[in-house]
Amino acid sequence: MNVSTNHVVSPPEPVILAIAGFDPSGGAGIAADLKTFAAHNCYGVAAITALTVQNTQSVSAVYPVETSKLRESIEALFEDGRIAAIKVGMLGDRANAELVKRVLQQKNPIPSVIDPVLRSANGHDLLDPGGVQVLRDGLMGLATLITPNAEEAAALTGLKVENVEDMKLAARKLVEMGARSVVVTGGHLDKAIDVYYDGAGFETFTGDKLKPDNTHGTGCTFSSAIVSNLALGRQLPDAIVLAKVYVTEAIRKAFSTGPGRLPLHHLYRMQQTPRGADHFSALPEPVL
């Protein structure tokens, strides 16, 4: 039997590099990043900074990847020459944070977003004190945007961050500390309010407060959605708005995979596409 093997090349998609930890439960870290990139019609590649032992209930162990192996992975991916944007998540330790700092210095001005992951929801440290210092002392200032939640903003600035005004003060201080622009996310508030600051002015983005248990990987997903929109050529404020809309719906449709915090449904858009239709061409362009 003869089988036709005509070679079909798909239109090029933006390639985004995720540098982050691996969550075996699939809700956060590299797994969330790659699914989010795919949901935005981008192609994801990844360099893993740490292996974690976790499920929907907790993180019980973290094993940082040897820095030389991480460097080899990143260099190999850049050799292909098509990286359009970089997402940085969990770093694990100081050595890996220093390496990523050098990478962002070398690859400027590629758009990049840092989600400064410091601690798991159950209180397990995901970055050592030396790595936190590297974040403060220059790494965060190399990114297009950083996206700390309230707890992370408090840890980085030393400020109390409990309400919108506190979030604004923390965002302002982070820019004073060197960050180019900041979104402090407010999932802890009665309404899902995020505060954006770029040194020139504040913007607040308000969304629906959904089920609090449907939030495993929310920070990873939000930052990955922002960097996806940057890779697609959108301006930063628009990228933030579109990412918030995407994350809200992904939370609404979260998977019931375990008894703990449920992972977001990163690929929910696939269920909205008529059978047989091209997935992305069938989706309406979001209205800003």
CATH 3.30.1240.10 fits 15-265, yes or no: no
Q: Look at residue 279 in the predicted model and tell me its pLDDT.
A: 42
Burial class (CB in 10 A: 0-12, 13-18, 19+), 232: middle
What pLDDT is stored for residue 135 in this prediction?
97
Which residues lie closer than 8 Å to 166 by C-beta, 6 or more apart? 150, 159, 160
pLDDT in tens, 14-50: 999 999 999 998 889 999 999 999 999 999 999 999 9
The C-alpha atoms of residue 92 and residue 110 are separated, in whole angstroms, by 23
The two tokens of residue 174 are 């982070």
Residues 6+ apart with CB under 8 A from 66: none
According to DSSP, the residues that pair with 185 across neighbouring strands are 149
Q: pLDDT tens digit string along 206-250? A: 877 665 566 788 999 999 999 999 999 999 999 999 999 999 888
> In terms of DSSP bridges, do strands 59-64 and 43-54 run parallel, antiparallel, or are they unpaired?
antiparallel
Q: Tell me whether residue 227 is exposed, middle or buried, using C-beta atoms within 10 angstroms of its C-beta: 0 to 12, 13 to 18, 19 or more.
A: buried
Report d(CA 42, CA 40) in Å as an integer: 5
Amino acid type, 204? T
The pLDDT value recorded for residue 213 is 63
pLDDT at 283: 44
For the stretch 99-136, pLDDT in tens is 999 999 999 899 999 999 999 888 889 999 999 999 99
Counted residue by residue, the chain has a size of: 288
Integer Cα distance of 46 and 31 in angstroms? 9
Range 62-74 average pLDDT? 97
What is the predicted pLDDT for the residue at 210?
63
Could you read off the pLDDT of 260-270 as tens digits, one per residue?
777 788 888 88
Confidence category of residue 7, pLDDT binned at 50, 70, 90: low
- pLDDT of 276: 43
Confidence of residue 77 (pLDDT cuts 50, 70, 90): very high
CA distance 144 to 107: 12
Rounded CA-CA distance 195/93 in Å is 28
Question: Count of H helices and E strands in the chain?
Answer: 9, 9
Report the largest interatomic distance among the alpha carbons of the chain, rounded to a whole angstrom: 71
pTM to 2 decimal places: 0.89
196 has which bridge partners? 183, 203
The predicted pLDDT at position 9 comes to 59
| Amino acid in position 63 | Y
In this prediction, residue 186 has a pLDDT band, given cuts at 50, 70 and 90, of confident
Percent helix, percent strand, percent coil in the chain, to nearest 5: 40, 20, 40
